[in-house]
Every structure is written in structure tokens, then in C-alpha cells.
Amino acid sequence: MPMKSKRKHSQDNHLREQFIAQVESCQPFFTLLAQLPDVHFFMKDREGRFMAAGPGILRRLNMTEESEIIGKSDKDIHPPRTVEELRRDDLQVMTSGQPLINKIESLYSPDPGNNLFITTKVPIYNRDHEVIGLIGTTRPYQNTENPTSEIKRISRSLAHIQQHHREAITPDDLAALEKISVRQLNRLYQKVFGTPVGHFIMRTRIQSASNALLTTNLSVAAIAEHHGFSDQSSFTRQFRHHTGETPLKYRARRK
């Protein structure tokens, strides 16, 4: 960049910083974000406690007022395994100072067929340039306008899992649907979701069962049967493996 352009760029940055320093409140930004369809925003402090959350987050968690989530953390919302993953990402963003852009992850949703979200998180600094937390957004994966090439390669199998996760689905079935080998399919799922396709199927099924535990009064045995498990003990074993707690404990903690 030419010296003159560098000087102009520096002056522009200084002008912007002077302007932002005069901003009294973040509320106008929150109000603006709340108007964006399917963009659910949140803000956390360094300890992972929610300091702000938009209406999309509140609807997804069956809350009506922002005050219901302020001071809570992910451990009050998600199963232990999910909490570990979310906290690890939060700490990476706050420690490195680098944003996490467009990560695809499975989160609680009242709609069991649409529990995939694209998450972005960026660090927040105080006036001494110390990281004090982060702000982020999630939006439904189904609404993404520019999917990656890997997502495009597995779009048919992904849609099939979302629609038929209660049924018997095998990696072979999905590989045939995508017209690739099981090995290629596993490699793509590993790259996008960090897990092989068989594990992803079970994780989706467990997420759907989690929703049923919170939104219905069905027995654990009935939920197990409805989600394609051979019996309640098999369901409980898989549920504990994927979430870190039993179905009954998960239901009691959240209801």
C-alpha cells in the first residue's frame, strides 16, 4: 500500500475509533440484530454467562424475556457434552483473539428436524484492549445462501438424516444416495462436523429425543421406541454416551 494511502487509512481508523468511543450503549446494535430474520445473537462474559440474547435465542429456548437467560451459562441449557464443546470454542476465541466463523453445530431446537446451526463468535475488548467476553450469532443451517463445497457434496444425505433420523439409516444407504463410497462420505462428514456419518446419525437421533424429553410428557420408554431404539436400556446407554447424563436426569434438570 502506498505511503499516502497508508496515512489515509490510519486517519480513517482513528476517525472511526473516535466515533465508536462516543457510543453510549450497545442497545442500538442489539435492536438492529434482532430485526434480521433467522439471525440469533448472544453475548457472553469471560465466565460464559449470557449478558445479552436476541429474540431468536429466547424462542429456541422457550423463554419469553431476556432476563430469563441473563447470568445463565450453557450448562443451564445444554447437556454436558455439548457444554464442553461450546466452552472450548468460547475459550479459543477469547484466548486467541481470533473469531470463529461459520461453524456448523448441532444445538437444541424445538423443531427436532432442524437442529443444525451455523455459528460465528468474535471476541469483545474493553478500553484497555483486554478480552472481556464474546458476541456471536447462530442461524439455521437450512437458510444458508452459500454452502461450502463439502456441504453441497453431502446435501442429499444430510436432508435425508434430518427427515428420517427416527428410522433405520445406514452409512451405506447414504453413500449410495450421494453416489460416493462410504469412505468418502465419512471423510466429508468428518471435515464438516468433526465426526463420521454413523456417529452423526446417532447424534441427530439423540438430539431429537432430547427435544421430546423436554416438550412432551411421554415416558422414556415411549420416546426410545419412537426414535428407533430397540429398548429403553439401549436408548439410555446411547443418550449418556452422547450427552453425559441419563434421559431422566436431563429431563429433571431442564424441566
- The string of pLDDT tens digits covering residues 57-85 is 888 888 889 999 999 999 888 888 888 88
Cell numbers of 239, please? 443418550
Model confidence at 254, in pLDDT bands (50, 70, 90)? confident
Q: 235: which strand partners? A: none
Indicate if 153 and 204 belong to the same structural domain.
yes
- The residue among 182, 220, 215 whose CA lies nearest residue 201 is 182
Indicate if 111 and 153 belong to the same structural domain.
no
Indicate the pTM of the whole model: 0.74
The residue from 143, 166, 189 where one domain ends is 143
CATH of the domain at 194: 1.10.10.60
Which of the residue ranges 15-29, 105-119, 126-140, 233-247 would you say has the lowest mean pLDDT? 105-119
Model confidence at 193, in pLDDT bands (50, 70, 90)? confident
Residue 176 belongs to what domain range? 149-254
Indicate if 153 and 195 belong to the same structural domain.
yes
The residue from 121, 143, 165 where one domain ends is 143
How far does the chain reach from its first CA to its final CA, in angstroms?
A: 58
Q: Classify residue 162: in a domain, yes or no.
A: yes
Predicted local confidence at residue 170, as pLDDT: 93
Q: Classify residue 222: in a domain, yes or no.
A: yes
- 141 CB-near residues (< 8 Å, 6+ apart): 104, 114, 116, 117, 118
The residue from 120, 143, 166 where one domain ends is 143
Indicate if 75 and 134 belong to the same structural domain.
yes
Indicate if 135 and 178 belong to the same structural domain.
no
Indicate if 98 and 168 belong to the same structural domain.
no
Indicate if 54 and 136 belong to the same structural domain.
yes
Report how many domains make up the chain. 2
Q: Classify residue 109: in a domain, yes or no.
A: yes
Indicate if 112 and 82 belong to the same structural domain.
yes
Indicate if 217 and 233 belong to the same structural domain.
yes
Residue spans of beta strands (DSSP E) within 48-197: 50-53, 100-106, 116-125, 131-140
- The residue among 81, 64, 61 whose CA lies nearest residue 211 is 61
**How far apart are alpha carbons 100 and 96 in whole angstroms?**
10
Question: Under DSSP, is residue 180 helix (H, G, I), strand (E, B) or coil?
Answer: coil
Model confidence at 236, in pLDDT bands (50, 70, 90)? very high
- 245 CB-near residues (< 8 Å, 6+ apart): 79, 80, 239, 253
Indicate if 120 and 172 belong to the same structural domain.
no
Q: What is the DSSP letter of 41?
A: E
Indicate if 52 and 133 belong to the same structural domain.
yes
Indicate if 111 and 161 belong to the same structural domain.
no
